[in-house]
Amino acid sequence: MKNHFYNIKTQILIVLVLFVSTILIKSQISGNQIYKSQNSYQNNRVQISDSKNIYTTDSTMVINVNVLLNKKADFLKITLGLSEEAESPKKAIEKINVRIQNFIRKLSLLGIKKENFFVDFIAQTKVYDVSLSDDKKLISEKIKGFEIKKNIIITISNHSEIEKIISYASDDQIYDIIKVDYMNDDLEKIHQELLSEANKIADIKKEEYLKSYKKEIIGNPTMNYSLNYIFPASQYQQYSAYESSDFDLMRGYYNNDLMIKKLERKSKTFYYEGISYNGFDKIINNQDPEIGIQYIMNISVKYDFKKNH
């Protein structure tokens, strides 16, 4: 009776969880995005103030400028993972190397050179299984074999090659696409261009203020700045587009029948959502739909005023 009561409580709890998870949905965004889940990474995203601030006193002025650059990747770094099991480490290594060499030969068909890929040895682990004694009273654990894990890291400059690489990899049972890193070549050039753009905007703000309030600047300004990189991997959101059915749990107190509700698989998908454009003085390449790296330049310039006597 106690177990029966516990089972009923457990099933009621499941129903409540399903119901609550159904109603906790944001509805202020149109389309399937209303189903999106709140990911924990959002708490760590770069936040830019919505206001374009100029702070002044009778003796100083501080101008803040935010500039955002959407930049295509100059090259992509793809990491694929594969593993192989065998009764000995030697045989596992031999088998996994055959698969890797077959795959590498196919990469050459895409014009990918030897210097553009690297095979990284990740781990060698024991694989265990269990056996049952003849009297079926003892279950013993034993070593079944060994597993070798390796990663293949590939650098490409053409985004369209990714699907071909994945297709060739599947021919050799390489299915684990661990990650795709986006990279740019000349970070110093990007840095200088964004800093120059931000300084131009700061000068315009300064001249507009001086024209309106007739202040006189003395000495040289001081400046602080920061440059942040936002990579695509941290900017993907997840949602599931479905509606759960309503149902009641009807159980008799003395009913010992076991009821199992089979739920259909709910499709989940992801979409890219870059940093919000709120609070930026200028956004560069905001019309380009291709996903890339976002660079944020923030500068703060302080000027001293001549005091009125």
The Cα 131–Cα 155 span in angstroms is 45
User: Residue with structure tokens 């009764």?
Assistant: 87
What is the per-residue pLDDT for 258?
A: 56
pLDDT tens figures, 76-120: 999 999 999 999 999 999 999 999 999 999 998 888 999 999 999
What is the per-residue pLDDT for 249?
A: 53
What pTM was computed for the model? Answer: 0.73
The DSSP call for residue 258 is -
- Cβ atoms 124, 89 nearer than 8 A: yes
- Cβ atoms 183, 263 nearer than 8 A: no
What is the per-residue pLDDT for 3?
A: 46
- Cβ atoms 79, 166 nearer than 8 A: no
Burial of 292: CB neighbours in 10 Å, binned 0-12, 13-18, 19+: buried
What is the per-residue pLDDT for 135?
A: 79
φ/ψ (deg, to 5) at 43 = -65, -20
The Cα 4–Cα 254 span in angstroms is 8
Residues of the chain below pLDDT 50: 1-30, 34, 40-43
CATH 3.30.70.2970 in the chain is located at 75-183
What's the CA dihedral at 84, 101, 97, 183 to 10 degrees? -70
pLDDT tens figures, 120-163: 999 999 988 888 877 777 888 888 899 999 999 999 998 888 99
What is the per-residue pLDDT for 31?
A: 53
On the CB side of 52, CA atoms within 13 Å amount to: 15
What percent of the residues of the chain are helix, what percent strand, and what percent coil, each to the nearest 5? 30, 35, 35
CB count within 10 Å of CB 269 equals: 12
- CATH assignment of 75-183, given 3.40.449.10, 3.20.20.150, 3.30.70.2970, 3.90.180.10? 3.30.70.2970
